[in-house]
Amino acid sequence: PANASHGHGHTVFLSDKEEVYRIPALHYDQDQKILLAFAEKRRTSNDASAEVLVMKTGALVKDEATLEISVKWSVSRNVVEKVHLGGFRPMNPCPVYEKTTKTLFLFFICVEGNVSEPWQRFWGVNKARLCYMTTRDAGQTWSSVTDLTVNFPQTKQWATFAVGPGHGLQTESGRLIVPAYAYVSRFPSCFCVSCFFAVSRAFCFYSDDKGATWQLGNTLDDKSVECEMAEVSDGKGTRYVYCNARNEGGYRVEAVSDNGGEDFLTLPPAEKLAETGGGCQGSVVSFPAQPGGSGANQEPRWLLYSHPTSQSTRVDLGVYLNKSPLDSCAWSNPWILNEGPSGYSDLAYLEGGWFACLMERGEASEIEQIACNVFSYIQVKKGIENISHSLKGLT
């Protein structure tokens, strides 16, 4: 639709009384021109009832008359199941693509039995493990599960941790980055950690050898939860890893790293990026600067960010544009992509100024379905301009 704010996109995973789909993650395969959509399939809305990570592939279809892009989705497939993981439930899908070997890594955490995150935080006993699978044929076949937890003894000191959810990235230098967060004790020497002493902080796992071995970056200084990352540059050739993280009320946490995600410097809060209630996951993706950008010092890569726009409840998913990613004051007003109940989302940049957003949405509740909306930079630009004109008219 020309005005995507009134279109809800096309349903990809539909929840019912028997199963609930949550936690969308999205990857665009440039070679095959298809989208790979991932989600958790649960028995109920409860996090502890997750059982399977599912996947659909979506073929892009361009209407030559209208130039609109639609997606034709496959049937759903199970990628990894709790019953095959010794009773550990797979959660938080986080795909990251290695370009030279054409390998898609699907990272996720495995959590023991039905143990909840609040239980782990209260007792300070981490029951989560870091795992991944790979595919080289866009999800038709998958490797067995690799468990990396033993490589990171630090996880024993954490109350719990998770990756993403949503996509990771590969930087221009070839580094693979998997965004993550952990509940880390304020008092590392204290082994009787409880929820009162464990604070969530974002960080990343990274690999410089195409995913053969993985390292652990340092955490953000500020309290931060679920996060996504993107690579940006200052227009002078210096590249940065940008992090956008969930917060508990107030505003989103933004940070930048000049050493590929090993250390982060927190940016001043962007008042345009209000956090929703007790917090909600959001997505961020960088993309090439588009024609018609203003200013001589425009960035070679811009940012697009998606999140519910209300400060109180998960409604009205908006996309925000930033043409100067190192400036937290440079965010636009949001263009509303989905009116009504909206939750978690994941953005993918397709090419040629087109994007896809996989999002939780519904009529009465945001967990009724996961839908996909494909839209262009031109639509985003027009939508933001219309909102800015409306706001000027109110002042």
Ranges of each domain in the chain: 11-393
pLDDT of res. 2: 32
**How far apart, in Å, are the Cα atoms of 19 and each of 15, 44, 91?**
6, 6, 15
pLDDT of res. 339: 96
- Which tens digit of pLDDT belongs to each residue from 272-325? 999 999 999 999 999 999 986 654 455 689 999 999 999 999 999 999 999 999
| Ramachandran assignment for 348, one of left (phi > 0), alpha (psi -120 to 50 degrees), beta (any other) | beta
Phi, psi of 238 (to 5 degrees): -85, 130
pLDDT of res. 56: 98
Between CA 314 and CA 107 the distance in angstroms is 26
pLDDT of res. 193: 44
Nearest partner of 101 among 170, 54, 179, judged by Cα: 170
pLDDT of res. 4: 41
Give 119's contacts (C-beta < 8 A, 6+ positions apart): none
Give 140's contacts (C-beta < 8 A, 6+ positions apart): none
pLDDT of res. 393: 66
- Which tens digit of pLDDT belongs to each residue from 138-154? 999 999 999 999 999 99
CATH, range 11-393: 2.120.10.10
pLDDT of res. 249: 79
pLDDT of res. 187: 55
> 10 Å Cβ neighbour count for 363?
10
Residues in the chain with pLDDT < 50?
1-7, 188-195, 295-296
pLDDT of res. 75: 97
Pairing of strands 77-81, 50-62: antiparallel
Q: Which residues are catalytic?
A: 47, 344, 360
